[in-house]
Amino acid sequence: MKVIFEPEGRRVEVPSGTSILGAAAKADIIFETPCGGKGHCGKCRMQVISGAGEPTAADLKIFSKAQLQAGMRLACQNRISGAVVVSVPDEARFFGQTILTDGIAASFSANAAFRKLHVTIPHATLEDQTSDLDRLKRAVAAGLGRSDGIGGIGIRLQTVRTLPAMLHEHANAFTVVLHGDEIAGFEAGDTASACYGVAADIGTTTVVGLLVDLNTGKQVLAASRINPQVARGDDVISRLTFIREDPGGLKDLQDRIVGCLNEIIAELCKKTGVPRDHIYELTAVGNTTMSHILAGVNCGKLAEAPFAAVVRDAMNVNAHDLGVHINPRGNVYISPNIAGFVGGDTVGMILATNLMHGDPQRVRLAIDIGTNGELVLAANGQVISCSTAAGPAFEGARIKQGMRAAHGAIDKVVFNDAIDVSTIGNAPPRGICGTGLIDSVAEMVRTGVVDYTGRIIDPDEAPLPDFLRRRIVSNGDSNEFVLVDGEKSHNGQPILLTQRDVREVQLAKGAMRAGMEILLSELGLTAQDIDEVYLAGAFGNFIRKHMAKGIGLLPDIDSEKIKFVGNAAGAGARMLLASKNCRAEAERISTNVRYVELAGRPDFQQAFMTSMLFPGTNEQR
Amino acid sequence: MKVIFEPEGRRVEVPSGTSILGAAAKADIIFETPCGGKGHCGKCRMQVISGAGEPTAADLKIFSKAQLQAGMRLACQNRISGAVVVSVPDEARFFGQTILTDGIAASFSANAAFRKLHVTIPHATLEDQTSDLDRLKRAVAAGLGRSDGIGGIGIRLQTVRTLPAMLHEHANAFTVVLHGDEIAGFEAGDTASACYGVAADIGTTTVVGLLVDLNTGKQVLAASRINPQVARGDDVISRLTFIREDPGGLKDLQDRIVGCLNEIIAELCKKTGVPRDHIYELTAVGNTTMSHILAGVNCGKLAEAPFAAVVRDAMNVNAHDLGVHINPRGNVYISPNIAGFVGGDTVGMILATNLMHGDPQRVRLAIDIGTNGELVLAANGQVISCSTAAGPAFEGARIKQGMRAAHGAIDKVVFNDAIDVSTIGNAPPRGICGTGLIDSVAEMVRTGVVDYTGRIIDPDEAPLPDFLRRRIVSNGDSNEFVLVDGEKSHNGQPILLTQRDVREVQLAKGAMRAGMEILLSELGLTAQDIDEVYLAGAFGNFIRKHMAKGIGLLPDIDSEKIKFVGNAAGAGARMLLASKNCRAEAERISTNVRYVELAGRPDFQQAFMTSMLFPGTNEQR
């Protein structure tokens, strides 16, 4: 069946019964699908110009009669039974977003698991009939300066099988690839200087890959992609639900992330000229769900109590077996986890921020604000962690006009005599991204448009400057705040913040802040004891500190103490790639960082209730 | 094209161009092919009853005009271009032979690499969110009584992937399969008592498999087969030549031995009712060439100086990857070698005879007489070894009317007032097998029919009893000895020993004996210093000691000192299967037993010349 997507005019041929969402993916048009294509969220709306079928039950709930008559439908719910022409509005599309790739890594010395060695092997004689492999091992041991003989040097049979031809064709001189103490392969000539790896940070939403020179541990280039699993829901719980409910769900999600890593690898290779076969290892950090999915381990039960992971350990798997397009003999190392909702990305952050070391008397808090917020507190010689389901509000989801940090997103808001907004790319505003949302709500709180309980007040309830008062409009049950007037937006429609949007912000920041309070109280501390806060992750690094303090996402501490550490998880992945010592450290982190479960704790419920409130208005502070 | 084989009347359909040898194999009719199907040896002779083509060059060399006209052809040289009917005489067939399966093993305690453990795993709770894998590891560590925690317990990702379903479907109680310290798989229910392995002794000619209970180390059943590689030549050098000359040679030979092992495994499973999936490991001992072929490692260069092996080490490979039909997660362990021509079978023999241990002052010599003769001497705290290319004479090859130890083979000969022969199965004599050959030559030497140089004397050259003198007949250049008159043989033709046959025996026993002398002289000893001789292998165990001394194959020492140890290599394979300690010992044997290369040594040449001579006749002794 032929499907045409407008305004691009892209044509694809798909089998009858394919969803329009699926057909669109084939045409490289990706819809926003926060609900995972279940017909709940209404984000994947589009207009069927010709060939529209009867509205589905989901369509009837979402669209008005007029909209339905105009052909408005949900892409996820409508299946193709004949030729159709479809128009996809910008709002429904998943746009590329700014992805933070770099992070600050703690200092480490490079001693990668893979290394290369050029060797020349003496020929056997009647006087010395030592086997080829033992002569090779002797040359390797000598090259590595090992004094403990060849006993510890291993090799797999499939590699042994390639040895006779290598010796024969290259006159006993060639390059040996070593994986730890194992001879992993051979390369003709002297290629010892060309040894690379890829460090991958697999987020629920974004995936970053760093090409790293394994001889130096230095980053060569970064590339990133949206995690294509977003088509199955934009948070971890949706992915877990998909795994539980669809027998092919795990495989689908694994294929998506492997495909995504392969795209990143291809880009890194193309841009640097490094051949794929010279990449011998990929390390991956991600939350526990992402790690399990990449490994192909069914973690569906993470969605319910007691939230135990299947695997805490680091996992190693042959690259070829996993379908990752580096050297087929290469290895994929998946970082260990700490708990079901504190994963390898947090291990990476702890590595990069050196939380396990340094002055044990300093109180240090590391925060990765994402769909889940992970918090790690180091103090009094202990390191403890927790995870809070902040939800994807800061990533633009569940916010009526929320969007990711992409072209046209409002990313900065200040209320002066008027409302000043800036957008990414200085484009006409399309929606609000996370930092814009924090700014807006912080400013609404500061100016009293929102009271400390989070309610948008009535226009005349309190004295407000005129430019604010006139922006408060009623929506029947509650009020809304017009952030951008229609004439200034990209499509002539005003950009609003609803009462519900403010509640979403309260839930998200309340969860984060409550987690913080629980960790502090576990060690008998309060926010005022904190010496340093490390803000990690794509979102954390664009936050304006005073705005975050303004809504109470961060405690009211000296801004000097708050430090941006960039993509700390990615930096940790690079450390894991370039240093075996860091892997041993990751194992220690995985077993020694104590996880604090918040679910079911009465004190967390209490802290959550309190933390949802906003700090007093400007006047009260 | 249709081919019919008589007298069975078996029909097969094969493509045009197939050799008759190949078509016969398809009909389960196996020819003797000592030369590997090259048209040299003339053993695969058969009669084409209808559809005979023009004789090939090889046919013209082997057959007389009359034979050619009668349709006599070599099965290896003639290809099928139309329907043919072929008659295959018994002499050309490769018959099953008596294969020695049991051997005497040194005492050892069973601690197999694979073992099973039934575990019950506590469920996770909100208070103990320990990952599934860590809870499994704790249960395993407790079950094994390990006090060092779970750190040393490994698991591969593919096994981890099966864990969630196992936990879910079997309520956290099931059986764990352990491979060393690695969790290798899971089985439903409590199957801890059903854990098996197969110990394989891969000879150039015969293959023996022993089903072993890994919990006790005890043998359950033995099965054996002819090594189907014999179709590519009956000695190691023919196989190596095939590997060097045919690009698919290695694969062909590997497929043959893997197929053979699978037949043996199928027989063992069928006869015992042990399911294939409960067999978790196969250990293989064989000469260095057999080990390399099984592993799929190209060892073609073993055919030429300096005879260095590719691999000395033990090799481990996943059973499924190798195509061996045990549990797909099972392991194949291929014994380490000592040198290019002293392989894992010798390592097995040293293990089984305990040569590395015991009283270091006793002089002990172990001998495995096969196509190659391997000798190991333990004395003065040293253990040294060598290999001699005895050739396949004792297996019946290269002897005009030689045959393997199969039905109808003359296996025992005594010259009293007449020539008394016995045959295997008491059948009418068809040919002479190794022990019959030794007996015959020993008796010819004792009675003076053969002089000490190996010459069959003229009938009237010396006084001989009449029943012997009349059996010496001239064949133009040399004499022949009629062992069995025509009327007593299976086909009315007399069974003869030619001068050339005697020379073959001289070469074979001379090589063995010279190797022995060199080993003794290396340690400053002589044959009279020997305290014990262990005779191993199928052939060695049927030798009559005084006959072997009579031809000088064994030195003239007290027969009490000569001990039969049975299939010592097979016993060693069983020890390697049932005991990790024995594997560590095998590694020590592999590196510590000194190999003495005989090639190019002037003293070996000298010893060989001397050893070819026979001891003086009865009168002279």
For position A18, what pLDDT does the model report?
83
Model pLDDT, residue A618: 43
Of the residues A505, A532, A567, the one at which a domain ends? A505
Measured between CB atoms, which of B125, B155, B340 is closest to A306? Answer: B125
At A617 the pLDDT is 47
For residues A183 and A147, give the distance between their C-alpha atoms in angstroms, rounded to a whole number.
17
pLDDT score for A53: 85
Instruction: State the Cα angle at B272 between B267 and B273, rounded to 5°.
Output: 100
Q: Would the pLDDT of A431 be above 80?
A: yes
Q: Specify the 3-state DSSP secondary structure of A301.
A: helix
Return the residue in A123, A125, A132, A342 with the most chain B beta carbons within 10 A, the one to mutate for interface testing: A132
B301 contacts in A (CB within 8 Å)? 164
Same structural domain, B400 and B380: no
In a domain, B107, yes or no: no
Look up residue B304 and give its two tokens.
């030429």
Angstrom distance (rounded) from CA A350 to CA A568: 8
Provide the 10 A C-beta neighbour count for residue B218. 13
Split at pLDDT 50, 70, 90, the class of A97 is: low
The whole-angstrom distance between residue A272's C-alpha and the CA centroid of its chain comes to 24
Q: How far is A307 from chain B (nearest CA, A)?
A: 7
Collect all residues with Cβ–Cβ distance below 8 Å to A377 and sequence separation of at least 6. Answer: A363, A364, A365, A366, A383, A384, A385, A516, A519, A520, A522, A523
Q: Reduce the DSSP state of residue B148 to 3 states and report it.
A: coil
- Interval B354-398: pLDDT, tens: 999 988 889 999 999 877 889 999 999 999 999 998 777 887 778
Distance from CA of A506 to the nearest CA of B (A): 26
Instruction: Report whether B444 contacts B482 (CB < 8 A).
Output: no
> What is the arithmetic mean of pLDDT over A190-203?
96
B620 within some domain: no
Mutate to test the interface with B, among A121, A157, A181, A601 (most CBs of B within 10 A): A157
Q: Answer for the pair B400, B379: CB distance below 8 angstroms, yes or no.
A: no
**Chain A closest CA to B421's CA: distance in Å?**
45
Q: Do A126 and B599 touch (CB under 8 A)?
A: yes
What is the extent of the structural domain holding B118?
A: 114-187
In terms of domains, do B455 and B536 share one?
no
Of B131, B310, B312, the CB nearest to A310: B131
Which residues share a beta bridge with B420? B414
- Chosen for mutation from A121, A123, A125, A126 (greatest number of chain B CBs closer than 10 Å) is A126
Instruction: Identify which of B129, B130, B340 has the shortest CB distance to residue A129.
Output: B340
pLDDT at residue number B472 = 97
Identify the pLDDT of residue B618.
Answer: 43
% of chain A residues with pLDDT over 90: 70
pLDDT, mean of residues A559-565? 94
Residues B527 and B468 in one domain: no
The CATH code of the domain that includes B82 is: 3.10.20.30
Q: Does B9 touch chain A (CB under 8 A)?
A: no
How many C-alpha atoms does B244 have within 13 Å on its Cβ side? Answer: 14
Q: What residues of A are in contact with residue B305 (Cβ under 8 Å)?
A: 126
Residue B98: band (very low, low, confident or very high) from pLDDT cuts 50, 70, 90: low
- Looking at residue B406, its pLDDT comes to 82
What local confidence, expressed as pLDDT, does residue B94 receive? 65
Task: State the Cα–Cα distance between residues B262 and A294, nearest whole angstrom.
Answer: 36
Query: Per residue in B390-442, pLDDT tens?
Result: 777 887 778 899 888 888 999 999 999 999 999 988 999 999 999 999 999 99
Within a domain: B58: yes
Residue B409, H or E segment = strand B409-415
CB B58 within 8 A of CB B74: yes
Q: pLDDT per residue over B573-599, tens digit each?
A: 999 999 999 999 999 999 999 999 998
Cα dihedral: B543, B549, B550, B556 (round 10): -160
Tell me, yes or no, whether B202 and B327 share the same domain. Answer: yes
Residue that finishes a domain, picked among B187, B214, B232: B187
Kindly report, residue by residue over B506-518, the tens digit of the pLDDT: 999 999 999 999 9
SS3 A579: strand
Q: How far is A58 from chain B (nearest CA, A)?
A: 34
CB pair distance less than 8 Å for A125 and B599: no
Whether B228 and B306 share a structural domain: yes
B230 and B328 together in one domain: yes
Structure tokens at A158: 């499939």
pLDDT of amino acid A124: 93
Q: Which of B310, B324, B387, B598 to mutate to test the interface with A (most CBs of A within 10 A)?
A: B310
Question: How far B391 CA sits from the closest chain A CA (Å)?
Answer: 22
Do B33 and B58 lie in one domain? The reply is yes
Contact A494, A482 (CB under 8 A): yes
The pLDDT tens digits of the residues spanning B269-297 come to 999 999 999 999 999 999 999 999 999 99
- What's the whole-number mean pLDDT along residues A575-595? 96
The yes-or-no verdict on residue A599 having pLDDT over 50 is yes
DSSP-assigned letters across all residues of A547-574:
HHHHHTSS-S--GGGEEEEESHHHHHHH
Q: Which residues of B touch A161 (CB under 8 A)?
A: 295-298
Q: Which residues pair with B119 in a beta bridge?
A: B174
Q: Model confidence at B36, in pLDDT bands (50, 70, 90)? A: low
Contact A392, A398 (CB under 8 A): yes
Question: What is the per-residue DSSP string for B22-36?
Answer: HHHHHTT-PBP-TTS
**Is the CB of residue B40 less than 8 Å away from at least one CB of chain A?**
no
Which tokens belong to B319? 């059973």
Q: What angle do CA B571, B577, B582 make, to 5 degrees?
A: 80
If asked whether residues A526 and A480 sit together in one domain, one would say no
Q: In whole numbers, what is the pLDDT of chain B averaged over residues?
A: 91
Does residue B415 share a domain with residue B305?
no
**Does any domain span residue B32?**
yes
Q: Which of B334, B361, B377 is the last residue of a domain?
A: B334
B325 plus B223 within the same structural domain: yes
Q: Do A157 and B316 touch (CB under 8 A)?
A: yes
| Pick from B429, B468, B477: nearest CA to B445 | B468
* Nearest CA-CA partner of A554 in A619, A509, A603, A613: A509
Band of pLDDT at residue A621, cut at 50, 70 and 90: very low
Return the number of CB contacts < 8 Å for A and B.
126
The structural domain count of chain B equals: 5
Q: A133 touching B, CB under 8 A? A: yes
Is pLDDT above 80 for B538? no
Residues A528-541 have a mean pLDDT of 89
What's the CA gap between A100 and A38, in Å, rounded? Answer: 30
- The continuous run of DSSP H or E covering A281 comes out as strand A279-286
B178, two tokens: 């352990």
Cis amide linkage into residue A494, ω under 30° from 0: no
| DSSP SS3 for B520 | helix
- B359 vs chain A: nearest CA distance in angstroms? 28
Report if residue B340 sits inside a domain: no
Whole-Å CA distances, A618 to A447, A449, A464: 7, 11, 13
Contacts of B417 by beta carbon, 8 Å cutoff, 6+ apart: B465, B467
> For residue A619, is pLDDT > 50?
no
**Which alpha helices (H) appear in B337-428, and where do they start and end?**
344-353
Mean pLDDT calculated for residue range A485-510: 94
Q: Which residue has the higher pLDDT, A312 or A76?
A: A312
Any idea what DSSP says for residue A497? Answer: E
Strand pairing class (B279-286; A206-213): unpaired
**What region, left, alpha or beta, does residue A618 occupy, with left being phi > 0 and alpha being psi -120 to 50 degrees?**
alpha
In a domain? residue A239? no
List, in sequence order, the alpha helices (H) in A120-175.
132-143, 157-160, 163-169
B510 CB contacts (<8 Å, ≥6 apart)? B608, B609, B611, B612
| Between A102 and A372, the higher pLDDT residue | A372
Report the residue of B128, B132, B321, B322 to disrupt the A interface, i.e. the one with the largest count of A CBs within 10 Å.
B132
Name the residue among B553, B568, B544 with its Cα closest to residue B512. Answer: B553
Q: In whole angstroms, what is the distance from residue B353 CA to residue B344 CA?
A: 14
Burial of B451 (0-12, 13-18, 19+ CB in 10 A): middle
pLDDT at position B249 over 90: yes
Comparing A391 with A323, which gets the higher pLDDT? Answer: A323
Burial of B500 per CB tally in 10 Å (0-12, 13-18, 19+): middle
Longest alpha-carbon distance in chain B: 103
Q: What percent of chain A has pLDDT over 70?
A: 97
* Residues A425 and A489 placed together within one structural domain of the fold: yes
Mean pLDDT of A342-351: 97
Burial class (CB in 10 A: 0-12, 13-18, 19+), B194: middle
- Residues of chain B with Cβ-Cβ distance to A298 below 8 Å are 161, 164-165
pLDDT at position A108: 84
CB atoms within 10 A of CB B33: 25
What CATH number does residue B567 fall under?
3.30.420
Q: Which of A62-76, A474-488, B124-138 has the lowest mean pLDDT?
A: A62-76
Give CA–CA dist B499/B449, Å, rounded: 11
Separation of alpha carbons A544 and A537, rounded Å: 14
Could you tell me which residues come within 8 angstroms of residue A532 by beta carbon, excluding any fewer than 6 positions away?
A362, A363, A364, A365, A561, A563
Please tell me which of A393-397, A427-431, B61-65, B320-324 the model is most confident about, judged by mean pLDDT.
B320-324
Give the tens place of pLDDT for each residue, B188-247: 999 999 999 999 999 988 899 999 999 999 999 999 988 999 888 878 988 999 999 999
Residue B79 burial (CB < 10 Å; 0-12/13-18/19+)?
A: middle
> In B70-179, which ranges are continuous DSSP H helix?
132-143, 157-160, 163-169
Sequential DSSP letters for A396-447: TTTSTTB--S-TTEEEEEEESSSEEEEEGGGPPP-EE-HHHHHHHHHHHHHH
Any domain includes A332: no
Identify which of A221, A259, A228 has the alpha carbon closest to the alpha carbon of residue A96.
A228
Model pLDDT, residue A173:
92
A592 in B contact zone (CB under 8 Å): no
Q: What is the DSSP letter of A30?
A: -
pTM beyond 0.90: no
In-domain check, residue B131: yes
The CATH number of the domain where A596 resides is what? 3.30.420.40
Strands (E), B431-541: 431-432, 472-474, 479-484, 495-498, 532-536
Q: Does A323 touch chain B (CB under 8 A)?
A: no
| Nearest-CA distance B337 → chain A (Å) | 9
Sheet strands side by side (includes A419-423) = A419-423, A409-415, A431-432
List the single range of A84-98, A176-190, A248-262, A588-602 with lowest mean pLDDT. Answer: A84-98
Taking the Cβ of residue A373 and every Cβ of chain B, the question of whether any pair is shorter than 8 Å is answered with no
Mean pLDDT of the region A536-556: 90
Phi, psi (rounded to 5 degrees) for A426:
50, 30
> How far apart are the CA of A385 and the nearest CA of chain B, in angstroms?
14
Residue B457 pLDDT: 96
Distance CA B318, CA B324 (A): 9
Answer yes or no: do A64 and A9 share one domain: yes
> Which of chain A's residues have a Cβ under 8 Å away from the Cβ of B600?
126
Hey, is the C-beta of A160 within 8 angstroms of any chain B C-beta?
yes
